[in-house]
Structure 1
Amino acid sequence: MSTQYQMIVVDDEIDIAETLADYFEMQGFAVKVAVNGQELKKILPEFTPHIVLLDLNMPGEDGLTLTRYLREHTRAGIIMVTASAGQVDMVVGLEMGADDYVGKPFDLRALLARVRSVLRRTQNELPANTQPVQDARKKIGKCLLDVETRKLWEGDTEVPLTAMEYDLLMVFLANPNRPLSRDYLLELAHKTDADPFDRSIDSRITRMRKKIEPDPDKPATIKTVRSVGYVYIPNA
């Protein structure tokens, strides 16, 4: 990597945290370890992470609470690393703002690939196969998306936006009035082959609608195309 990315590993199992730290340091990352939320909050003022590997099940503040905290105080990519395999945990984690989700046990090389994928999304790169949007601010629903700062605004209020949500909005903006399949959206947003049974795209679209649609229960900007996926309707 030409840039030395900064990573924080948050896991109360110190052997796992140290294994991850050692591996990613060998891959060129600068890594700090925190065993709980209190340590994480002590590290943040002195060490700005590009990405955080965050365990879900920890005593005290759990991964979901810390995901919300990180979203409010940093622009880091967040990957939840957990022994829990529950679909509900995954969906809630994504709803809270995590960018990806990895179950234990995991292959370190596969985790590295996911980390690099999230970093690509968070380091001002457009998804593959999309064209740059010319204007700095683009209207989408009731909001304006600033493509230079990667921020979403409703009036003068900034609307929290994850890296993958930004990528998905950019995909829609680059493909107005074109029905896009779930697999296509996942492939562009993840920059990898999509799992045809992965329904996480639906929860992400639902969350985005709550942010950009005047009436999320009757979406007009990002509409569902039955048996296909979704379509972006500009000026809806």
Structure 2
Amino acid sequence: DGLEVCARIRQKPGQKDPYILMLTAKGEELDRIIGLSTGADDYFVKPFSPRELVARVRALLRRSLRQGGQQHQIYQTPHFLVDLDQRIASRQLESGEAENLDLTTLEFNLLSTFISYPGRVWSRTQLIDKLWGDDFFGDERVVDTHVARLRKKIEPDPSHPSFIKTVTGVGY
């Protein structure tokens, strides 16, 4: 149910911390107390006014703006944890321990780009635009060099990559 989903979201370390507004038919005081103590940011009872719902969502978003407009950005997969704010990347070892990765600024930016958009294929040109912007001057094959260096640091077998794969004729 919604309480269990809310509790599970709040218990996951390293995940983004979303705002949770419970919209429910349970309107007793005890239900509201339980919902809020489980981790909901707001609790709204049916039937409801759409205008009030919009006002409550805007209030939650205003809270975000007062806190600097950004939430702590952490991306976690079964193999990696990338903290964009602290600029720390670590790899989960088979033993279960985490190993901090010693990445250059460009390697960190490359890894965070890939991990921020799982499943997306990036062309060399797109990666150059994202990582270097208008300041880039040179051969787009420089991306291949940086991907190869990153693979050496994150892949168990860089010659047979399992995390950063090449899509022939497109990119990575």
When you count helix as a share of all residues, which structure comes out higher?
A: 2
What TM-score, normalized to structure 1? 0.36
TM-score, normalised via structure 2 length: 0.49
Max Rg structure: 2
